[in-house]
Structure 1
């Protein structure tokens, strides 16, 4: 018995030693397949428009939490697709159907903008915006919820998938902490309108970051102002170009400075009729910002702003010393910042209006934009290399081209209808194609 036990122990020891000291091997059955590079077609280009301006209170104007779209915007668009593509429009969503993926995407293929002149008892002014390519990440620099100022966040989901939106809102004091910022539902094919006063009440300035999961969305802030019972301006705040150390805001066409001062002296509710630059610092360190406000000719003297902006905060700087004229804001910072400009418009015989100018797109590719049929429209461009500002009156319904170049050019359309003002940014929106590496095991 003892001999059997010793034999078993020896076998066990040999087995253990084999497990500890046996060499390791990699096993492969068959040959390892080579990866294949596949071209992936870009998603069909869709541009989404906000539609008619939203009126609070429903049809009666008294129903709390109800928002209805009123009026019909004027569309300005051009489609220039090759054979085999077609443009499909449905309720303000413009889609280039391109089964073979043969079209080169961008504004030369499709550009769409809208303007709308508000003429109701509660909405007065001209609102304009470029229609957007849906995204999961959008920054909106502008807005005011103090007395007499209404800011509505418009979220439109043109996809077939429900979207869930989270918001970050930043004021002069930094990021706000409020119930209702997260988990906002935007149903597939629908629009959600959210009054921002419920999240950031009585705030004279803020920046909104929209993050979407599920379906991509388009987003705007509709800003509407009233003075007592008198409507005094409306506009869309459009998405900003990404934060950058170098930004340009063209199209600062200042009009009616003397009249605005006279109104403000008589009624402090008009104190915001001053052109104002908004800086936002999304980073983690203090931004030291220098902004040169440059006039288009020798008769328009500009100014220079130097401003420190705390991390995660925004600052408004009024341009109180500028006379009537055409200007461009050139901004440099030691860290990336967002820049926007609130531009009031005051003319004799009309209620005041305003527009929010976003940081311009500085693409080197060719860009096209179509001029609205209504109003007096001017194209303002600034060349970052030649330092040249150009202001050109353009023909209604014309399609304008900013040529492809190695020189960055900022551009915007400023539209005026009987003293009301709006802007249409010049963008080159596209979905990207590419290559993926695929291995089948």
Structure 2
């Protein structure tokens, strides 16, 4: 039996422990009510501004025709050089030609031109632009074709062309970089994605251009859309389409990439030289390629409900609205039967991202031609462009924003032309063939250049400059 002394000692220890616990609890509770000092250490960052590299633009090169060399029936050959114009503000560009091993006449007519300037001058991006044009009068290739010289990229969309009977489409891949490019072509047609042998693993060597015939990838395809991706070096991609109806040439066109897939697109400066033929439809089936039409493609998994609003330039006419549904993975063409002769800008609003380009035709006597008008990227405040050499040149500017835009056009001599473009409207501005300009106040706008004469028609987009190298933050560990 424990003694009275042991019980007292044990009881004292228990009481002392409970008191200590109580004091600790009160202390912790009190500490929880106190505002304790905090120490914050912001991560150190080092602002680094990379040196802006040179800017290079690639022109597609001279027009090509198949079987120019009798000993090579499937080879492509040029039949004369393209006219190349370019300009830059504050510097003199350097130029060189890409080697063109797939062009049997490349040694005589030259290859695609590469225009290069420093990425920045006095701390600002160097405005540079270039364009090419050529008039063909061959037995199987005839018409006027112009194109904007564009930077190389890792991905681009080509909306246009045809490999139907009497139609020849060539895919042009130029690599201006110092690294070989490994290119994949994804071709989409009436049956969806076309698994074509030879569409992947196309090596475009540094400093060269490759030419790929669409017929070899997707024969008898009237409404193709091509996605071009590259690894290693980047490429400047373009399409050349020529048409022959029975034995009569029906036009030629060279077109570069369109704007990337988006739910809101603009096709500025569509030139309609004649009203649609009687009985033309507005469905999404393949249409007569003499009719004015809009080709659309939804690369996603869902169908796209599309609203096309055609606004006539320099006019207060009510816009013409066309509704359509585009099935996913299958290109569709919408015949724009309601457009009269004139110049229009198309606003395309879609429930799903799409790519788009419009086609128009011009006929006069024995002359016939067509042109593709691609959706253009939205412009920054300032954009440089060069007008291709050719007839009837116009600059088309469309303002999809909610407020009036005041733009200023400055030529190489410093002469300025000012114009206002109303909200939701389009305007044309006179420009000179072969001349380079800088368009200021263009933030949020879209623009293109058209060359048009009876039986001659072509178009080229105005694109924003390459982004200047921006500062980046580096956080040391």
Give the TM-score taking structure 2 as reference length: 0.76
Instruction: Give the C-alpha shift of residue 235 in structure 1.
Output: 0.5
1:10 match: none
Select 1:332's aligned residue among 324, 349, 352. Answer: 349
Of 241-250 and 371-380, the range deviating more from structure 2: 371-380
1:379 match: 395
| Alignment pair present for 1:75 and 2:84 | yes
Is the contact made by 2:53 and 2:118 (CA closer than 8 Å) also made in structure 1?
no
Q: Deviation per CA, 1:272-297, whole angstroms, max 9, x where unpaired?
A: 21001011112222211111122236
1:429 match: 465
2:117 match: 96
SS at match of 1:434: coil
| Alignment pair present for 1:142 and 2:153 | no
- What is the root-mean-square deviation of aligned Cα atoms in Å? 2.5
1:39 match: 49
SS at match of 2:53: coil
2:436 match: 399
- Give the Cα separation in 2 of the matches to 1:298 and 1:235: 28
| Alignment pair present for 1:157 and 2:175 | yes
Query: Structure 1 residues 42 and 257, CA, compared in 2 at 3 Å: closer, same or farther?
Result: same
| Alignment pair present for 1:346 and 2:366 | no
1:220 match: 238
- Give the Cα separation in 2 of the matches to 1:302 and 1:172: 30
Instruction: Give the C-alpha shift of residue 312 in structure 1.
Output: 2.0
2:29 match: none
Q: Which runs of 5+ in 1 are unaligned?
A: 1-32, 263-269
| Alignment pair present for 1:249 and 2:267 | yes
| Alignment pair present for 1:415 and 2:431 | no
Is the contact made by 2:147 and 2:388 (CA closer than 8 Å) also made in structure 1?
no
Instruction: Give the C-alpha shift of residue 172 in structure 1.
Output: 3.3
Is the contact made by 1:378 and 1:394 (CA closer than 8 Å) also made in structure 2?
yes
Instruction: Give the C-alpha shift of residue 245 in structure 1.
Output: 1.3
Of 388-397 and 136-145, the range deviating more from structure 2: 388-397
- Give the Cα separation in 1 of the matches to 2:64 and 2:177: 22
Is the contact made by 2:307 and 2:324 (CA closer than 8 Å) also made in structure 1?
yes
Q: Which runs of 5+ in 2 are unaligned?
A: 1-42, 98-112, 280-286, 402-422
- Give the Cα separation in 1 of the matches to 2:357 and 2:388: 23
Q: Deviation per CA, 1:182-205, whole angstroms, max 9, x where unpaired?
A: 101111111111111111110110
SS at match of 1:224: strand
Query: Structure 1 residues 229 and 434, CA, compared in 2 at 3 Å: closer, same or farther?
Result: same
Select 1:52's aligned residue among 36, 48, 62. Answer: 62
Is the contact made by 1:381 and 1:409 (CA closer than 8 Å) also made in structure 2?
yes
- Give the Cα separation in 2 of the matches to 1:127 and 1:205: 20
1:105 match: 125
SS at match of 1:322: coil
SS at match of 2:173: strand
SS at match of 1:40: coil
- Give the Cα separation in 2 of the matches to 1:321 and 1:388: 19
Select 1:307's aligned residue among 311, 324, 327. Answer: 324
- Give the Cα separation in 1 of the matches to 2:242 and 2:325: 29
2:11 match: none
